[in-house]
Amino acid sequence: MALLRTENLTVRFGALTAVDRVSLEIQPGTVHSIIGPNGAGKTTFFNAITGEIRPTSGRVLFLDRDITNLTVYQRAQLGIGRSFQRTNIFPNLTVFENVWLASFARIHPSSLPHPMPRHQLAEVKDRVCEVLAEVGLADRANHRAAELSHGDQRLLEVAIALGLSPKLLMLDEPTAGLSPEETRRMIWLIKELAKRYTILLIEHKIHLVMEVSNLISVMHFGQLIAQGPPEEIQRNPAVQEAYLGRR
């Protein structure tokens, strides 16, 4: 069963069709990348999946459940965790607290208080330490998030999504604005994460995509124009014309 499935997902803004009848499936345990030139509709597609945008038509199904009309927070509670293209953290809270909020949400997202057994809080804390260690931010846990370098903030961006222990990890251009060295570190991280998470990835750096992906979907002007394993996509003439050929 596909983890996530979209059926003819369409997003229109007035006369502009940002996402045009995109149907695809994300299989569990894979790294599925979406590529395409700027303005192809990739982030809009992401937003339609996570609920920041309501589609004009079409459906989004998560574990065979229609989530098209659920709110952002409801979808997050189902296990969809995403990072953002433009860094979207909690600047005045510490790194630890940023990730803690995600881990805590997984067990107690409700606003109504009820006493929490001590061991549950300990579990949350452990999870946070785990994530921070994995991402490489453990030594900066007490720093204010705003004080981190851009590269570290991008790591925090991913760490927050990881804190949710998501069933589906959606990463929107995690390497945006990173130096080559930081990019290599992020690639390594994604490969490690791929061992345990299903990842839906948007990226511009083609070599990264080719290196980590099991499956690549190519978008152009809102439409899905090709889909397949990396080698196939590299050879696909339509893709080359639309995207790779322009480099």
Partner 1 sequence: MGHAKVAKLRPQLGPIIPWVLLGVVVLILPDLMRTTVATEVWIFAILALAFNLLLGYTGLLSFGQATFFGAGAYTAGLLLIHQRVHPLVALAAAALAGGLVAALVGYLCIRRVGLYFIMLTFAFNLMAYFIVYQASSITGGVDGLPGVPRPPVNLQVISWDIRPGVSYYLFVSLIFLACALALKRVVDSPFGLVLQAIRENEARAAALGYNTSAFKRLAFVISGAFSGLAGALYGMLFGIVPIDTIYWVTSGNVVFMTLIGGTSSFFGPVIGAIFFIWLAETISVRWERWPLLFGLVFVLVIFFFRGGFVEVWRRLQALLPRPGRKLEPDRGPTKD
- The footprint of partner 1 (CB under 8 A) covers 50, 52, 71-73, 76-77, 82, 84, 88-94, 96-97, 100-102, 104-106, 108-113, 116, 125, 128-129, 132, 138-139, 141-142, 144, 160, 163-164
Please identify, using beta-carbon distances, which residue of 38 and 110 lies nearer to partner 1. 110
How far is residue 85's CA from residue 171's CA, in Å, rounded to a whole number? Answer: 8
If the CB atoms of residues 138 and 210 are measured against partner 1, the closer one turns out to be: 138
- Judged by beta carbon, residue 116 or residue 238, the one nearer partner 1 is 116
Q: How far is the CB of 65 from partner 1 (least distance, A)?
A: 16
> Smallest distance from the beta carbon of 68 to partner 1, in angstroms?
17
CB 189 to partner 1: min, Å: 19
Cβ proximity to partner 1: between 91 and 237 the closer is 91
Residue 50 tokens, joined? 């996570």
Q: Which is nearer to partner 1, 170 or 224 (CB)?
A: 170
**Cα–chain-centroid distance for residue 172?**
5
Question: Closer to partner 1 at the Cβ: 76 or 212?
Answer: 76
Q: How far is the CB of 238 from partner 1 (least distance, A)?
A: 34
Smallest distance from partner 1 to CB 86, Å:
11
How far apart CA 48 and CA 195 sit, in angstroms, is 26
CB of 163 to partner 1, least distance (A): 8
